[in-house]
Each structure stands twice: as C-alpha cells, then as structure tokens.
Amino acid sequence: MAWYGHRRSGEPRPGARAVVVGLGLSMVGVLAIQTSTAVRSGIDASRESVDATTASLASFASDLSDWSLFGFGRSEQDRARIAELEAQVRELTRWKDLAESMTLRMERYERLLDLVGETQGQSVTARIVAEDAGPFSASRIANAGAANGVREGFAVINENGLVGRVVRVGEYTSRILMLTDFASRIPVMGTRSGDRALLVGDNGTGARLIEPETPDKIVEGEVWVTSGDDGKMPLGVRVGIATRVGEEWRLSLAIDEGPVDFVRLVPPPDFARPEDAPALGGVSENTEPTLRSAGVELAPIVTTVPPAATGRPASAARPSPGGAQ
C-alpha cells in the first residue's frame, strides 16, 4: 500500500466527480451573485480585514526569505544604506526649512490678495508593504489605516508624483488603487496647454488621456498635473509627461521614475459644501416666492410707475426683464 492511498487510480468515482462539479458550479453561483451591489459591499467589508492578513503574509514571507537566503553578510550593505539615508535627511532638513519659510510668505501674499487658497488636512506617511499587479487589479497595500487617520478617497503621492488613491481602509492598512488600474479615473490638466482630460488606467501598462477638451493644443513632452476638478484630488500634483501613441495621447507616469516604497496619503481639499456653510451674518434667507422661482417660471412683475411720468395708463407698463427690479 502506498502512503498516498489505497485506491487504484483510474477507478470510476461518480460520487466524487459529482461533488467536484458541484463545487465548480457553486463557484459560478458565487460569481454571479456578485453583480449585486449589496453582496459586493459585503465582500468589500471582508476584504478590508483580509488586506491586513495579505500584508502580514507578504511581510512574513519576505522576512523568511531574508533570514534564510540573505541573512548573512548584509551588515556592511546596511551600514552604507544608513549613511546614505542620513545624508539625505540632512539635505531634506535644509529643504524643509526653506519650504516652511516659503509657505509663510505665500500665506501672507494670499492674505494680502484676499485669495481663497486650498485648505489641506493632515497627511499621513506610510510604507508600501505589498503590491499586486495581477490580471484583475493594479494596487498596493500601505501600512497605515483608519487608526492613523486615513480615509477612503485620500490621494496617494510619492516623491515623483501621484501614485493613486485609497479605495479601501482597514484598521492598520489601506489598499491603494494605482493610476494604471482599469478602474482608475483621475481628472488632469496640461501645464503648458492648459487642456483638461480624464486619465484612465490601462492595467499595468500605463494610462491614457480620454476626452481632452482641446487635443490639438497638447504638447508632446508636456508635464500633466492633477486638475482637482473632482474636488477629491489636490490641485497641481505631478502625474506624468504627455506622449502621443498613434491617435491617442498617453502619459509616461511619474511613478515609473522610481520605486514606490514610501508614500504620503493626502486628504481631499477641505471645501465646505454650500449647504453646510454657516449662515452669513445679518442676511436672512430669501423667502420671496417670485424671486425663488426666477429662471424656472417668471412671474409677471408689474412696475408701478405713476401715469403722469410716462403719459400712459398704469396697465400698459411692461414686466421688467428677468423679474429683477
């Protein structure tokens, strides 16, 4: 008797076959019910917790291989890396000081000009712990989640430019949809042409511009940035460089210029919705029915002009245009 079984291979097993076929059919059923939004949202909730497990698994497997394959002789490399990073920190500190002083000056200029700037919430810096470039999605998992203040819809930026946006948030992890994913849609604009378009992902191979307003004005090699038209992305984040491929325009993405390891998760610009804005002091709500219906159904408003002033009877007076007086 072999260690793997008692049965001769090739024996007909109709019961087992039926079970396996049944399992396959049940999977088809599971796939079919996912067309329902309610079911999909339920699955998304479970994916949140699985993202954390995936990140842990990837990290565990990575640690395992680091320990078993490359565990020896790395200290010299590590020391060199640490020295390099320390030099970078010193350089960045100088830039940080410069940026802070420029921010202060810009705030003063904005106040002087009475310019309404974009208010930006607190961003979170995170490390990418897992990446997925499979047939179904192009995404990454970062090691910051709801507990760190990350929310769905945050823009994800690294030193080169826009990486994507947060589509799902777990407690300590968040799933980032890359610009190259099929489902990615980002409003962008050219810095020279001023043209606006929608950047659509091509799953791993790049991203293309669709619906450009004035495609003739787009310049080859022009830098494209986020336009912020959706109110979710900050304005002016570098996205890529325009390249023409056949009849369509594509962007050579900024994220391809280097590894995506550390990222900044940036909240959407904090615009208050008009209905949420506080009431203006001293101005009461307009309850005049004729004015509220203006533009939809113009009520004939008769101006009361003394007959003596026009030389005509008062009934001949015409309604004022647009109902305004």
Partner 1 sequence: MTLAWRLWVVVLMVLAALVTAYGMRVGVGSAWWPIPALWLTTTLAAFGLSIWASGGFILLGLAMDFMGEAPVGAWPLALLSAYAVALVAWDRQPPIRVISAELISLVGGCIVISLTLGVAAAIAGHPGFSRNALTGDFIMTALMYPVIRFMILPASIRVARR
Task: Note the residues at the interface with partner 1 (CB under 8 A).
Answer: 2-11, 13, 16-17, 19-20, 23-24, 27-28, 30-32, 34-35, 43, 46-47, 50, 53-54, 57-62, 64-65, 128-137, 139-140, 175, 181-183, 203-205, 259-261
Q: For the chain, first and last CA: distance in Å? A: 102
Distance CA 212, CA 78 (A): 47
3-class DSSP state for residue 140? strand
Beta bridge partners of residue 245, listed in sequence order: 248
Give the helix/strand (H/E) hosting 228. Answer: none
Q: Which is nearer to partner 1, 2 or 283 (CB)?
A: 2
Q: Least distance to partner 1 from the beta carbon of 30, Å?
A: 4
Judge contact between 290 and 320, C-beta under 8 A: no
Q: Which is nearer to partner 1, 202 or 229 (CB)?
A: 202
Q: Least distance to partner 1 from the beta carbon of 196, Å?
A: 23
3-class DSSP state for residue 321? helix
Distance CA 19, CA 104 (A): 70
Q: Which is nearer to partner 1, 1 or 309 (CB)?
A: 1
Q: What is the DSSP letter of 315?
A: G
Residue type, 107: E
Q: Which is nearer to partner 1, 137 or 174 (CB)?
A: 137
Distance CA 237, CA 224 (A): 8
Q: Least distance to partner 1 from the beta carbon of 98, Å?
A: 31
73's torsion region: left (phi>0), alpha (psi -120 to 50) or beta?
A: left
Q: Least distance to partner 1 from the beta carbon of 122, Å?
A: 25
- 181 token code pair: 């994913």
Q: Least distance to partner 1 from the beta carbon of 92, Å?
A: 22
Q: Least distance to partner 1 from the beta carbon of 298, Å?
A: 46
Q: Which is nearer to partner 1, 174 or 203 (CB)?
A: 203
Q: Which is nearer to partner 1, 129 or 144 (CB)?
A: 129
Q: Which is nearer to partner 1, 185 or 196 (CB)?
A: 185
Give the helix/strand (H/E) hosting 249. Answer: strand 248-253
Q: Least distance to partner 1 from the beta carbon of 165, Å?
A: 15
Number of helices (H), then strands (E), belonging to the chain: the values are 5, 12
